[in-house]
Amino acid sequence: MKETFGERFSRLRKQKGLKQEDIAFRVNISPQAVSKWENDISSPDISILPTLAEILGVSLDELLGNEKEKPIEMIPEEKRKDIDKMVFKIVVNSADGDKIRVNLPMPLVKLAINSGMEVPQINGNSALKDIDFKKLFELVEQGVVGKLVEVESADGDFIYITVE
């Protein structure tokens, strides 16, 4: 089933850790108008769509549902990048509004895994404790890239792990 504008807007807003009131304040409208968008009762005026996309950190195409998320890919061995030039990205958007971005060079991730170091919990987030970073690294070694992990915790935190 295709995601409606309201569902997509709500998801993107929550991923950024923003409240309806935050959006309303930034585009000078009422929070009730934002609620109506998210419930697909009405749509934003076309003139504020670029501002909304900027606030949410997405392209206008993605906001409107015309851009597909990049899929997880299995890259054939002959087309793979040197793993030492890849980046392991961890994104945490907490329900409390914290936004954490960690970009780790793959050689550092490999060193940590091979030396038995545990990846520290980011911001005390318990949703990360069950992620097997060694298995993720093994997938990358086999040529898997893209968004490898996407978690929405019971606390409303959004966690993404991507390898590029």
User: Which is more confidently placed, 146 or 23?
Assistant: 23
**pLDDT for 91-133, tens place per residue?**
777 777 777 778 889 888 888 888 877 655 444 556 667 778 8
**Residue 16 shares a structural domain with residue 57:** yes
Q: Quick one: pLDDT at residue 121? A: 47
Please tell me whether residues 125 and 150 are part of one structural domain. Answer: yes
**Residues 126 and 86 both lie in one domain:** yes
Question: Are 29 and 91 contained in the same domain?
Answer: no
The pLDDT assigned to 1 comes to 55
Out of 38-47, 106-115, 132-141, 155-164, pick the least confident.
155-164
The confidence band for 154, taking pLDDT boundaries of 50, 70 and 90, is: confident
Which sign does the torsion angle of CA 7, 13, 17, 18 carry? negative
Residue ranges making up the domain that contains 18: 5-64
Q: Which amino acid is at 163?
A: V
Residue carrying the six token digits 């038995």: 116
Same domain (yes/no): 85, 55: no
pLDDT greater at residue 49 or residue 155: 49
Shared domain for 78 and 144, answered yes or no, is yes
Final residue before a domain boundary, out of 18, 37, 64: 64
Alpha helix locations (H) across the chain? 5-15, 20-27, 31-38, 49-56, 60-64, 106-114, 133-141
CA-CA distances (angstroms) from residue 118 to 64, 107, 114, 131, 150? 40, 15, 10, 11, 20
Residue 59 shares a structural domain with residue 85:
no
158 and 121, same domain (yes or no): yes
Q: How confident is the model at residue 160 (pLDDT cuts 50, 70, 90)?
A: confident
pLDDT tens string 1-42: 578 899 999 989 998 899 999 999 999 999 999 999 999 999
Question: Is the same domain home to 134 and 84?
Answer: yes
Same domain, 15 and 40: yes
The residue out of 33, 64, 95 marking a domain boundary is 64
Rounded mean pLDDT of 61-66?
A: 86
Q: Which CATH number covers residue 13?
A: 1.10.260.40
Q: Tally the domains of the chain.
A: 2
Same domain flag for 125 and 77: yes
Domain identity same for 108 and 134: yes
